A and B are shown apart, each in its own frame.
Chain A
Amino acid sequence: MAEITATGGLSTDPSLRRRLAEFWYYFSENRGAVLGLIVFVLLVIVALFAPLIAPHAADMQYRDAVLLPPAWDAGGNTSFLLGTDPVGRDLLSRLIYGARYSLFIGVVVTTVAVIGGVLVGVIAGYYRGWVDTVIMRVMDIILAFPSLLLALVLVAVLGPGLTNAMIAIALVMQPHFVRLTRAAVMTEKTRDYVTAVKVAGASPFRLMFKTILPNCMAPLIVQATLSFSNAILDAAALGFLGMGAQPPTPEWGTMLAESREFILRAWWVVTFPGLAILITVLAINLMGDGLRDALDPKLKRS
Chain B
Amino acid sequence: MNRAFRLLRRRLVGSVPVLLVVVVGSFLLLEAAPGDAVDAYVVSVGGDAGMIEALRQSWGLDASPMTRLAAYLWALLHLDLGHSVAFSRPVLSVVLERLPNTLLLMGCATALSFFLGSALGIVAGARPGSFRDRFLSIGSLALYAIPGFWLALVLTIVFSVELRWLPLSGMETIASGKTGPARALDIARHLVLPVTSLGLIYLALYLRIMRAGMAEVWRMDFALAARARGISRRRIVWRHVARNALLPLVTMLGLQSAAMLGGSVVIESVFSIPGLGRLAQEAVGARDTPLLIGIILVSAVLVVAINLLVDIAYASLDPRVGASEAGA
Contact = CB atoms under 8 A, between A and B. Distances in A.
B71 interface: no
A153 B147 contact: no
B113 to A, nearest CB: 16
Contacts of A103: none
B141 A267 contact: no
A282 B21 CA distance: 37
Contact of B281 (A146, A152, A229): A152
A243 to B, nearest CB: 7
Interface stretch (B26-34, B46-54, B60-68): B26-34
Given A32-B138, A140-B18, A153-B284, A278 B146 contact: yes
Contacts of B157: 263, 267, 270-271
Among A154, A156, A278, the most chain B Cβ lie within 10 Å of the Cβ of A156
**Range class of the B interface residue count:** 35 or more
B55 interface: no
A153 B266 contact: no
Contact of B154 (A153, A241, A264, A271): A271
A138 to B, nearest CB: 8
A156 B157 CA distance: 31
A260 B266 CA distance: 13
A152 B288 CA distance: 13
B84 interface: no
Interface in A127-174: 140-141, 143-159
A281 interface: yes
B161 A149 contact: no
Among A147, A152, A158, A278, the most chain B Cβ lie within 10 Å of the Cβ of A152
Interface stretch (B92-100, B220-228, B298-306): B298-306
A277 B262 CA distance: 19
Contact of B34 (A144, A159, A237, A278): A159
**Range class of the A interface residue count:** 35 or more
Contact of B261 (A146, A241, A282): A146
A144 B259 contact: no
Contacts of A143: 255, 258
Contacts of B304: 144
Given A144-B307, A146-B303, A270-B157, A237 B18 contact: no
Among B26, B145, B303, the most chain A Cβ lie within 10 Å of the Cβ of B145
A241 B281 contact: yes
B262 A147 contact: yes
A240 B266 contact: yes
Contacts of A285: 141, 144-145
A236 B148 CA distance: 10
A278 B258 contact: no
Contact of A149 (B21, B255, B262, B287): B262
A153 B138 contact: no
B141 A148 contact: no
B109 interface: no
Contact of B156 (A32, A157, A263, A277): A263
Contact of A241 (B21, B142, B269, B303): B269
B22 interface: yes
A61 to B, nearest CB: 24
B121 interface: no
B202 interface: no
Contacts of B287: 156
Contact of B284 (A152, A233, A240): A152
Interface of A: 32, 140-141, 143-159, 229, 233, 236-237, 240-241, 243, 253, 256, 260, 263-264, 267, 270-271, 273-274, 277-278, 281-282, 285-286, 289
Given A143-B255, A145-B303, 20 more contacts: A140-B18, A145-B22, A145-B300, A146-B261, A147-B262, A148-B263, A151-B262, A153-B26, A156-B292, A157-B33, A240-B266, A243-B284, A256-B153, A263-B157, A263-B161, A267-B157, A270-B154, A274-B147, A282-B142, A285-B141
8 contacts: A143-B255, A144-B18, A149-B295, A153-B29, A243-B284, A274-B146, A274-B147, A277-B145
